[in-house]
Structure 1
Amino acid sequence: MAPLTHLYMLFCICFNIILSIAIVLINKWIYTHHGFPNLTMTCTHFVFTTIGLIICSRFGVFRVKALPISHMLPLSLTFCGFVVFTNLSLQSNTVGTYQLVKVMTTPCIILIQSNFYKRKFSTRVKLTLFPIIVGVFLNTYYDIRLNIIGLVYAAFGVLITSTYQVLVGEKQHELQVNSMQLLYYQAPLSATLLMILIPFFEPVFGEQGIFSAWSLEAVLLVCLTGCIAFLINITIFWLIGNTSPLTYNMMGHLKFCLLLLGSFFLFHDILNYLQIAGIILAFSGVIAYTHFKLEEQNEVVQPIIKRQHDV
């Protein structure tokens, strides 16, 4: 991988992390102060993403490529499934239990890619999962409350989330499309499927329904998160397509640690010594993973560069 590509990837990673943290904080504000429904918010984000992609295609940012709906439907269905089960898991579990079970997405991705797509992972890459899982456990230890229904929701959420992230990467390579070309079809299809699901999970009319009389502040904030979501979705698809679902998942653990640190410095949330140790462990795992993956990429790329130079 060329140095310029490394820099571009680093920029995309940092940009995605900053936007992801921003949208979490803004969404939290909207949920807390305005009570805007969760699934409706997600659907709105995909509507904004669809509009943004249409505008980009009109200005020649990318070329629309015809893709069969049969290939897009599994992607959109797994997306809707992971949104629904993730929300149900969060509603039925404490934040600690939710976050701890969510960590299992990383080993689940390895299992899916190893068994169904014949991907190979070195032992040292697999070992980087250990400090990350222990680190997240230490951060959520005091907030773990197990219940059967919550665990069922969480287990389905992990399985479907892992499948979705793997499909995003595999479909880009299988169909030979870039992130925008794939998202151009997935975004409107996912928005449509969520519109069908919303009446079963959230109010539509009446208090806190989508057609309620929302304040101007709420509308503007939702529109702001829609624009941010458009940029996040593009970077997510690009990162998964150009790195791997596992690498993107590692970024998720990094975001979790940064959010904890952000809450500590901005909102003076209390962090005990175990949580601090957990953050250090998780960070060390992410850094080790990044180091090993770059080494493995260089081992593949350097012989190719050498052969080209010799020719």
Structure 2
Amino acid sequence: MSVRLSDLFKNTRIITGLLVNLFSSICIVFVNKWIYVHYGFPNMTLTLVHFVVTWLGLFVCHKMDMFSPKSLRPTKILLLALSFCGFVAFTNLSLQNNTIGTYQLAKAMTTPAIIAIQTLYYRKAFSTKIKLTLVPITLGVVLNSYYDVKFNLLGMVFATLGVLVTSLYQVWVGAKQHELQVNSMQLLYYQAPMSSAFLLVIVPFFEPIAGEGGIFGPWSLPALVMVIFSGVIAFLVNLSIYWIIGNTSAVTYNMFGHFKFCITLLGGYVLFQDPLSLNQGLGIFCTLVGILAYTHFKLAEQDEGKSRLVQRP
């Protein structure tokens, strides 16, 4: 009986974690888009709010003994903190200047970009099957972008920069976690305040501080509430990703990610009336097929690698 209760409690926690991640990951896209469309809140300032709230949230988690910080030299994570700024800022700028469909599909190009970076600079080899999955992903993104009636060059520039910086960030995060022997929360605990400091210096050069459109401008209460809410959601996204991977598996996280991908696309067309042509639908389908194929082959290769280790005498 006690075993059943324990299993039930564990399953309930996992389901709760998945639901929190589902809610926060989808909600952050829609809330940020709403803030940009209806309030015109400055992008980099919103990113700064996200970083500050994330660090405060991690500080609370630390005090609740959810993780133990590890002392790190600032120089060791300097580039990582800078890339974190670019990753979030360019991603938000892409969301601000593109439809949600184009924004979401552009993010799918992170996988091909990471593979290219790891192949060219880290001499990492990938199987032919993995490489072939990049064809439908890329084709789908190109199709959607080409037939997007709201297409704009600036939005695609931000999307491209977002993909490049995000890819670098993800590669560096993996390398730094291995190098410094820290988990993602320990790394983010030091990274978030450093990134906040960088943005605090940079923001005044690109965005107004006071007056119309400035962080200390005459914002309405609903706008400020939405901005703080966005920051809290950003923290929940980071926390829930870490928790899901730590308590389930990469398979669960990836499969759940595909579900979120579809829901986010659908929500963009419903909530913001983003137009969707047949060719764009075909592009979305191609990208989704590529993502699913990539996940399938990648996880199969990981399982094969594990079985070889087990069989090794």
TM-score (normalizing by structure 1): 0.79
Q: 1:134 to 1:49 in 2, by over 3 A?
A: same
Instruction: Give the distance between the partners of 2:90 and 2:230, measured in 1 at CA.
Output: 22
Cα distance, 1:65 vs. partner? 0.4
Q: 1:303 to 1:157 in 2, by over 3 A?
A: closer
1:61 aligned to which of 66, 80, 89? 66
Larger deviation: 200-209 or 227-236? 227-236
Cα distance, 1:33 vs. partner? 2.1
Structure 1: 5+ residue stretches without partners: 1-7
Structure 2: 5+ residue stretches without partners: 1-12
Pairs within 5 Å for 1:31-110 = 31-85=36-90, 104-110=109-115
Instruction: Give the distance between the partners of 1:125 and 1:13, measured in 2 at CA.
Output: 27
Cα distance, 1:298 vs. partner? 1.3
Q: For each residue in 1:35-76, what CA deviation from the matched residue of structure 2 results, as whole angstroms up to 9, or x when unmatched?
A: 211111110011001101111111110011001111111101
Q: Which residue number corresponds to residue 4 of structure 1?
A: none
Aligned sequence identity (%) = 54
Instruction: Give the distance between the partners of 2:207 and 2:158, measured in 1 at CA.
Output: 18
Larger deviation: 43-52 or 127-136? 127-136
Instruction: Give the distance between the partners of 1:240 and 1:114, measured in 2 at CA.
Output: 25
Q: For each residue in 1:260-279, what CA deviation from the matched residue of structure 2 results, as whole angstroms up to 9, or x when unmatched?
A: 32233455544222122222
Instruction: Give the distance between the partners of 2:167 and 2:15, measured in 1 at CA.
Output: 23
Q: For each residue in 1:213-263, what CA deviation from the matched residue of structure 2 results, as whole angstroms up to 9, or x when unmatched?
A: 3222222211211111012123456789986xxx98x99887555433223
Cα distance, 1:29 vs. partner? 1.6
Q: Which residue number corresponds to residue 200 of structure 2?
A: 195
Cα distance, 1:304 vs. partner? 3.5
TM-score (normalizing by structure 2): 0.79
Instruction: Give the distance between the partners of 2:243 and 2:124, measured in 1 at CA.
Output: 19
2:174 aligned to which of 155, 163, 169? 169
Q: 1:31 to 1:93 in 2, by over 3 A?
A: closer
Confirm or deny: 8 A CA contact 2:21 2:241 kept in the other structure. yes
Q: What amino acid maps onto 1:190 in structure 2?
A: S
